[in-house]
Amino acid sequence: MSCVFCAIVGGDAPAVRIYEDDDYLAFLDIRPIVRGHTLVVPKKHTVDLTDTPPSTLADLIRIGQRIGLAARDSELKADGCNIAVNDGKAAFQSVFHIHLHVAPRHAGDKLSFAKGLVIRRDPDREATGRILRDALAELDVKE
């Protein structure tokens, strides 16, 4: 299966490009949730958090921050931004090339970014904490 973001990076698919350097590209989302909704992608294909280097994720955030600042300082006059990575199908990732969403927001815009989420109580927070601490320790051993 071909990757639409790789096609955009390669110039084989159209996009409204707003930022580009040797390693990253930012372009307007074709299905924006708000005006200025931008996607930031590494030019080198990785799928999700499992195969993307931490330095790449840091660069995505760095670029996303600049885009968010530009949205505030421009005629878009954003009051803030949602910045998110949807990691995997269960988290609503629909294009399997890691990407950062930057969605400019305005006070009172009534956009519900996480509509339908319900607050759930963890029946055993201590056990959940132990599970995650143990998994982090295991990752340290692997690295």
37 is catalytic: no
Catalytic-labelled residue, pool 37, 99, 101, 106 = 99
Greatest pairwise CA separation for the chain in angstroms: 50
What's the length of the chain?
143
Residue 47 falls in which region: left (phi positive, over 0), alpha (psi -120 to 50) or beta: alpha
Residue corresponding to tokens 């330095």? 55
Q: Where are the beta strands (DSSP E) in the chain?
A: 17-20, 24-28, 38-42, 80-84, 100-105
Give the residue numbers marked as catalytic: 99
